[in-house]
Amino acid sequence: MRRSWVEQLMGMPISVLARGEYADSAAAEAAVKELYAELDDVDRVFSPYKRDSDVSRLGRAEIGLDEVHADVRDVAERCAAARELTGGLFDADLPDGGWDPSGLVKGWAVERAGDRLRAVDGVDWCLNAGGDVLVICPGGTPFTIGIQDPHDPGRVVASLARTGGAVATSGTAARGEHLYDPRTGRPATSRWLSVSVSGASLEYADILATAAFVAGDGWPEVLPAGYEGLGVLADGNLQATPGWGVT
Whether 60 maps to a domain, the answer reads yes
- Residue 172 banded pLDDT, cuts 50, 70, 90: confident
**What is the pTM (predicted TM-score) of this model?**
0.94
3-state secondary structure (DSSP) of residue 98: coil
pLDDT digits (tens, 9 = 90+) for 140-149: 999 999 999 9
Whether 71 maps to a domain, the answer reads yes
Question: Residue 195's closest CA among 165, 163, 172?
Answer: 172
The domain total for the chain is: 1
Whether 168 maps to a domain, the answer reads yes
pLDDT digits (tens, 9 = 90+) for 91-100: 999 888 899 9
Q: Which residues contact 244 (CB under 8 A, 6 or more apart)?
A: 160, 198, 228, 229, 230
Whether 246 maps to a domain, the answer reads no
Whether 15 maps to a domain, the answer reads yes
Whether 245 maps to a domain, the answer reads no
CATH number for the domain that contains residue 64: 3.10.520.10
Whether 247 maps to a domain, the answer reads no
The residue range of the domain holding 112 is 2-240
Whether 64 maps to a domain, the answer reads yes
